[in-house]
Amino acid sequence: MENQELFYRLALNLVNGIGPVKYKKLIATFQTAENIFKQSFKSLKKTDLLTEANADAIKSFKDFNSVEKELTYTEKHGIHIRCFDDATYPQKLKNCLDSPVLLFQKGNANLNAQRVLSVIGTRSFTEYGKKICEELIAQLKPYHVVVTSGLAYGIDIIAHKACLKHDIPTLGIVAHGLDMMYPRAHMAIAKEMQHQGGILSEYFSNSPLEKGNFPSRNRIVAGISDATIVVETDMKGGSMITADIAFSYNREVFCFPGRTIDSKSAGCNFLIKKLKGQLVTSADDIATEMGWKTSAKPVAVQKELFIEMSDEERKIVDLLRTKESIHIDELLMLSQLNSSQVAGAMLSLEMQQILMVMPGKMIRLLGT
């Protein structure tokens, strides 16, 4: 993306009242952020995307100095800016309606790694929770995953430290700009993570650290990953919010159970009881549910020769021929079809026994 367009992308992100959904629709309508700022008030109003107050906010926006400062800061500190329509933007997150329009990244993490897991839990952990978390991370090593969490006290930082110990890439998603670290006690870990993963935020530098940033951050933790693992949590707090968001995004949620008398396991037990989270006791359980342990079988689809397929069905089959299995989010991205088209084509192909949907929302062709 050219620097001038990036400049206006950042500026549009600062306009009051323009949230992620409106922002993306505006870019789709006017092609570039620069074009949006060049429109007349009347032209902006004609789109039916904006209220009068929205159009007025765009036309009266003057804080371009903050944009200049942010671009200077990011360049000086090696921060990458990922726009929602960039190839480097995390595609799993892009499929979420309310995903951020911009992300600021420090470090070398692959935001589009094939396997990404979020590991979350309570800040006031027990020894049981700490032991489970450390063992889980160690067991994940053979599965070549990227582990994300929130760099908070408790289970989050235990997960990040265990990843560093076992040489597993780990990504910290924070609720503030990358010019600071909250809590400050985790500054050294955050710096180490930049060489084995990184830090990610949707906030400009010098943004105020507000209470509402944390639940907003949780949607990134949930959306960027294939599955969310809740190690230990009580009934209230950020972990329950994140698990609920992941469930709403149609992502897998895995929970480690605990004793019914332990308050710090009450949240996990509740999620399992309400069928919002699957009970697991090890990384192998997770790998099995995600379809990572499925043995490869020769795929023979000769029956296709005798079946008339729609263009959408043919596109999906052709994509599935290139890999042993594909996650539903990756299929959506590669096919460039909308979710309704993919769902309809998959249902037809499944009924014709051409493909199957495996645990973890992985899809593969059936052999004959």
pLDDT, tens digit, 9 for 90 and up, residues 161-179: 999 999 999 999 999 999 9
Given a cut of 90, is residue 183 above it in pLDDT? yes
Q: What is the mean pLDDT of the chain?
A: 90
CB 71 within 8 A of CB 7: yes
Given a cut of 70, is residue 300 above it in pLDDT? no
Q: How confident is the model at residue 42 (pLDDT cuts 50, 70, 90)?
A: confident
Given a cut of 90, is residue 32 above it in pLDDT? yes
Task: Fold for 106-289, please state it.
Answer: Rossmann fold (3.40.50)
Q: How confident is the model at residue 305 (pLDDT cuts 50, 70, 90)?
A: very low
CA distance 343 to 125: 40
CA distance 253 to 13: 31
pLDDT confidence of residue 297 = 43
Alpha helices in 224-282 (DSSP H): 238-248, 266-273
Instruction: Give the percent of the chain with pLDDT over 90.
Output: 70
CATH class of 3-76: mainly alpha
Q: How confident is the model at residue 299 (pLDDT cuts 50, 70, 90)?
A: very low
pLDDT confidence of residue 45 = 84
CATH 1.10.10.10 correct for 302-365: yes
Is 55 strand, coil or helix?
A: helix
Given a cut of 60, is residue 304 above it in pLDDT? no
Given a cut of 90, is residue 57 above it in pLDDT? yes
Given a cut of 60, is residue 298 above it in pLDDT? no
Given a cut of 50, is residue 229 above it in pLDDT? yes
Alpha-carbon distance values, 350 to 207, 303, 307, 319, 333 (Å): 48, 13, 13, 15, 20
Segment 293-298 mean pLDDT = 48
* CA-only gyration radius of the chain, Å: 22
HSE-up (13 A, CA, CB side) for residue 311:
3
Domain-wise residue ranges, the chain: 3-76, 106-289, 302-365
pLDDT, tens digit, 9 for 90 and up, residues 110-130: 999 999 999 999 999 999 999
Three-state SS string across 85-131, please? Answer: CCCCCCHHHHCCCCCCCEEEEEECCCCCCCCEEEEECCCCCCHHHHH
- The span from the first CA to the last CA of the chain, in angstroms, equals 46
Segment 180-192 mean pLDDT = 95
Three-state SS string across 184-195, please? Answer: HHHHHHHHHHCC
Given a cut of 90, is residue 348 above it in pLDDT? no
CA distance 241 to 244: 5
pLDDT confidence of residue 3 = 84
Taking the CA atoms of residue 319, residue 323, residue 324 and residue 327 in that order, the dihedral angle to the nearest 10 degrees is -70
CB 284 within 8 A of CB 138: no
pLDDT, tens digit, 9 for 90 and up, residues 309-347: 888 999 999 898 888 788 888 888 888 888 888 888 888
Q: Identity (one letter) of the amino acid at 355?
A: L
Given a cut of 80, is residue 359 above it in pLDDT? no
pLDDT confidence of residue 237 = 86
| Cβ within 8 Å of residue 130, ≥6 positions away | 155, 158
* pTM score, whole prediction: 0.80
- CA angle 325-331-336, nearest 5°? 155
Q: How confident is the model at residue 135 (pLDDT cuts 50, 70, 90)?
A: very high
Chain length of the chain: 368
